[in-house]
Amino acid sequence: MSGRGKQESLSFNTSAWVFDPDKADTRFLGLHTLDDIKIFVVKSGLDRHLRDKGLFPYNVKIGVDDEGLWLLLVTLPGDDRLPLIDFRVSRVRKSGPLMHSPFDLLKIEWLSTFDPTLKSFPEKRPRLPGQKVPGLGCLRHLLKMMHFSSQTLRMDGFLDIPEHLHLAIMYARSFRFLDPVCEKILRTLLGCFKGETLFKISWAAVAGAIIDVSTGLPWIYRPAEQAFAISHSLREYYSSKEYLSGMDSFKTGPFVIDDALYQKNISMAMSKG
């Protein structure tokens, strides 16, 4: 980004940034002030992304929801529709049979985005399982914000439990499952489906059309903990002999998509998903 572009991005309309009026002293994750969040929004590219879509000015609200989760909302002024971004996180400590010590992680508890400039799902970004409205396409920016926050808080990394296969695939570029068996299954799956679209893989899983050739049975996606490593200790865990052996020793697949079953079940799967 040029120096001029960076300066323009920092020119906020201060009226577009508000605290939750009922929790005016709340700091996001117990540390970040609203000024910190402003910096994260710009550094992550989210501000530019929203501006490029014509979604400016926008309001940002931080607080704590009824379940005690830290909440970040981005909305349009005076707009009662869905928020542009509804992002809720917590701090967790995770341990497991292969972990010599527990890891402190930020956990994505809920993430939804809405692009009000789109009346329907665009052809290049068709509806995926679980989606009700077109999203903003800003996942990478929000993950960058998580990265900045995790570093500031000295966390080992950040965590999600992807509810749907397409999310696990999208996260797989930089996340790994804490369970090496889950990681082996996903990597095998991706290796078998090179060239297939994310749309088809995702809906094939919902339609029960992904077949494990070794068993002849439909493969079922089961959500599990997938984490991005920031600390040396978590990166070391992923490269440890125990983790790699856990992957190597587990036999799974190969997988295929049963096209006849896919065509038979896809309409029902999409009506439910």
What percentage of the chain has pLDDT greater than the value 90?
A: 71
Residue 131 lies in a domain: yes
- 156 with 200, same domain? no
Mean pLDDT over all residues of the chain? 87
Section 15-33 average pLDDT: 61
**Neighbour-count burial of 131, counting CB atoms closer than 10 A to its CB (0-12 exposed, 13-18 middle, 19+ buried):** middle
pLDDT category at 162 given cuts 50, 70, 90 is: very high
Helices 198-206 and 259-272 pack at an angle, to 10 degrees, of 80
- 205 with 101, same domain? no
Buried b (16+ CB within 10 A) or exposed e, 25-43: ebebbeebebebbbebbbb
pLDDT: is 204 or 60 the higher one? 204
Residue 271 lies in a domain: yes
- 86 with 144, same domain? yes
- 143 with 50, same domain? yes
- 109 with 12, same domain? yes
Cβ atoms 113, 136 nearer than 8 A: yes
Residue that terminates a domain, selected from 131, 160, 189: 160
Cβ atoms 86, 168 nearer than 8 A: no
pLDDT: is 17 or 148 the higher one? 148
- Residue (of 73, 23, 43) closest to 152 by Cα position: 43
- 134 with 1, same domain? yes
Residue 174 lies in a domain: no
- Provide the whole-model pTM: 0.85
Q: And the tokens for 132? A: 């009700």
- Tens digits of residue pLDDT in 228-245: 999 999 999 999 999 999
Looking at residue 250, what is its pLDDT?
A: 95
Section 210-238 average pLDDT: 95
Residue that terminates a domain, selected from 98, 126, 160: 160
Number of H-type helices and E-type strands within the chain: 10, 10
Residue 49 lies in a domain: yes
Looking at residue 205, what is its pLDDT?
A: 96
Looking at residue 6, what is its pLDDT?
A: 31
Cα gap 31→172, rounded to integer Å: 29
- Tens digits of residue pLDDT in 70-93: 999 999 988 777 899 999 999 999
Q: Which residue has the tokens 């999600």?
A: 160
Residue 208 lies in a domain: yes
DSSP helix/strand/coil, 122: coil
Cα gap 121→118, rounded to integer Å: 7
Residue that terminates a domain, selected from 132, 160, 188: 160
Looking at residue 31, what is its pLDDT?
A: 86
pLDDT category at 66 given cuts 50, 70, 90 is: confident
Residue 230 lies in a domain: yes
- Read off the DSSP letter of residue 14: G
- 146 with 34, same domain? yes
Looking at residue 3, what is its pLDDT?
A: 32
The total of structural domains in the chain comes to 2
pLDDT category at 9 given cuts 50, 70, 90 is: very low
- 84 with 202, same domain? no
- 152 with 249, same domain? no
Residue 231 lies in a domain: yes
- 194 with 102, same domain? no
Looking at residue 97, what is its pLDDT?
A: 67
Q: Which domain holds residue 245?
A: 179-273
Phi-psi region of 213 (alpha: psi -120 to 50; beta: other; left: phi over 0): alpha
pLDDT: is 221 or 17 the higher one? 221
Q: What is the DSSP string of 59-118?
A: EEEEEE-TTS-EEEEEE-TT--S--SEEEEEEEEEE--TT-SS-EEEEEEEEEEE--TT-
- 108 with 58, same domain? yes
Helix (H) or strand (E) holding 36: helix 34-43
Residue 54 lies in a domain: yes
Looking at residue 198, what is its pLDDT?
A: 95
Looking at residue 81, what is its pLDDT?
A: 77
- 135 with 212, same domain? no
Residue type, 126: P
